Structure 1
Amino acid sequence: MFQLTGDDWEPVTVGESDTSVYRRGDVFAKCCAPDGVPELAGERDRVEWLAGTSLPGATVLDWLESPHGACLMTTAVPGIPGTELPEPARSKAMHSLGRTLRDLHELTDCPFERPLESVIATAEDVVRRGAVNPDFLTDEWRLLDPSELLARVLAERPSIERGLELVVCHGDACLPNVFFDPSTLEVTGLIDVGRLGVADRYSDLALTTIQVHDEWSADPGPFLAAYGVPDPDQRRLEFYRLLDPLTWG
């Protein structure tokens, strides 16, 4: 693992990444071992691309690489993550969240792609290795072998592929990755964009709506209305909600 110099870096323990994350003032440092360099470099490139658009986010400050791995340094995004918003603020925040995700999906000329074929291939590899994290599964899904869950995904795949709506997606559009101004409740930035790329818009909508339901205990209706899809395709939402937890491992 790449080691930072200096003793004033504070470790950040939230998140599910295999990298080590540190903060010093308004700078974040994400470090990885040699085998994680290609993935972290991909995240660096995505942060740089997003910073050149109209969407708020982090800015790359430095990239350090050695035989021990690499380190990506970025600016801190102001505000607080969506998971820390108090209950009275969440309804209003859903409107900003919906508009921001729609703005992201309306970006053009994205050089990164995340085709469904490659996402399913990742899920197949994770399941084959027995690396599915049960913490990411619902109580119902934990009762089944991951291979059965994957079989459900594969059975639905032809139908989903016929209705793909390709846009620039975040790839992990969960509330911890969206920051808000606690006063105005406007979105101040998107973080952890390592999976950003052209994909089906429902891959983002599925994660955000289930997060609003689970983390905020709220009806995602206001979010969906602000996004512009008040009556989403529930079958597609369920497909991506099942597929996503099979891709982490």
Structure 2
Amino acid sequence: MLKPSGDGWVPVEVGESDTTVYRRGDVYAKCCAPSGVAELSAERDRISWLSGTGLPGATVVDWLESVEGGCLLTTAVPGVAGDLLPAGSHGRAMRSLGRVLRELHSLENCPFERPLGDVISSAADVVRRGAVNPDFLTDEWRKVAPEELLAEVVAESTYVEKVLEPVVCHGDACLPNIFFDPDTLEVTGLIDLGRLGIADRYADLALTTIQLHDEWSADPAPFLEAYGVPDPDPRRLHFFRLLDPLTWG
């Protein structure tokens, strides 16, 4: 695996990907083996694109690639990750997040796509390989064979395809990937953009709302109202909450 050059890099334990992350000052280095270069370079391109839209986030500092792998250097996003905010700040933070996610979903001319069919195919591959991570499943879903969960996804996809609302989605809009100013509680940046692309808006709404419930024990109503969908479609929320954990493996 390729590593950043120079001294002073400190390893950081973060995320669920097959990369190694280091920090030196205000710069992060995400490094991968040769097998991960295509995925990491795709994330680089997404960070570069989003940084040109005016939305808060990291910027690309450098890209290193060799036979040992790849290394993406980006600026650090100020603030604190959403999962670390104290309970008293959750209401204001949810409203800030709703506004920023709506702004993200309103962007145009995004060159990246995540077609629903491709995502389901990815889930099918994970299930076929027996690679579904049970930690990502609810207690109820752990009692069900992954093949049955996938079958439910495939069956319900007919409905979801009919009501798709394609927008620029983050793709992994979980609280650790959203940073906030601890004082103003405004969003200071979106990170881990490897899945950013055109997809149904509920791909983000489903993950964010379940995170607010699970991590903050919060009613997501302030978030949904600020976003502009106070009465979301429960079928699409359930669909994407079930689909997402089947794609990580």
Q: TM-score, normalised by structure 1?
A: 0.99
Alignment match, 2:17? 17
Structure 1 unaligned regions, length at least 5: none
Which residue identity does 1:10 align to in structure 2?
A: V
Counterpart position of 2:41 = 41
Q: Could you tell me which amino acid in structure 2 is paired with residue 75 of structure 1?
A: T
SS at 2:182 equivalent: coil
Inter-partner Cα distance in structure 2 for 1:62 and 1:46: 14
Q: For 1:4 and 1:55, how far apart are their aligned partners in 2? A: 27
SS of the counterpart of 2:124? helix
Give unpaired runs (5+ residues) of structure 2.
Answer: none
1:201: which partner in 2? 201
Give % identity. Answer: 73
Query: How many pairs were matched up?
Result: 249
Give the 4+ runs in structure 1 shifted more than 3 A. none
The code of the aligned residue for 2:15 comes to G
Deviations 1:66-89 (A, max 9, x none): 000000000000000000100000
What's the counterpart of residue 119 of structure 1?
Answer: 119
Matches within 5 A, 1:120-135: 120-135=120-135
Aligned to 2:137: 137
User: Aligned-pair distance for 1:8?
Assistant: 1.4
The one-letter amino acid of 1:104's match is L
1:39-65 deviations in whole A, cap 9, x for unaligned?
Answer: 000000000000000210000000000
Q: Structure 2 CA distance, aligned partners of 1:192 and 1:70?
A: 16
1:92-139 Cα deviation digits (max 9, x unpaired): 100000000000000000000000010001000000000000000000
Distance in 2 between residues matched to 1:6 and 1:28, nearest whole Å: 13
- Higher mean C-alpha deviation, range 1-10 or range 50-59: 1-10
- Report deviation, 1:6: 3.3
- Aligned letter for 2:44? R
Amino acid in structure 1 at the alignment position of 2:143: L
- How much has 1:3 moved relative to structure 2? 2.2
1:11 counterpart SS class = strand
* Structure 2 counterparts to residues 77-88 of structure 1, below 5 A: 77-88=77-88
Distance in 2 of aligned mates of 1:201 and 1:165? 6
The residue aligned with 1:211 is 211
Taking the aligned partners of 2:60 and 2:3, their CA distance within structure 1 comes to: 19
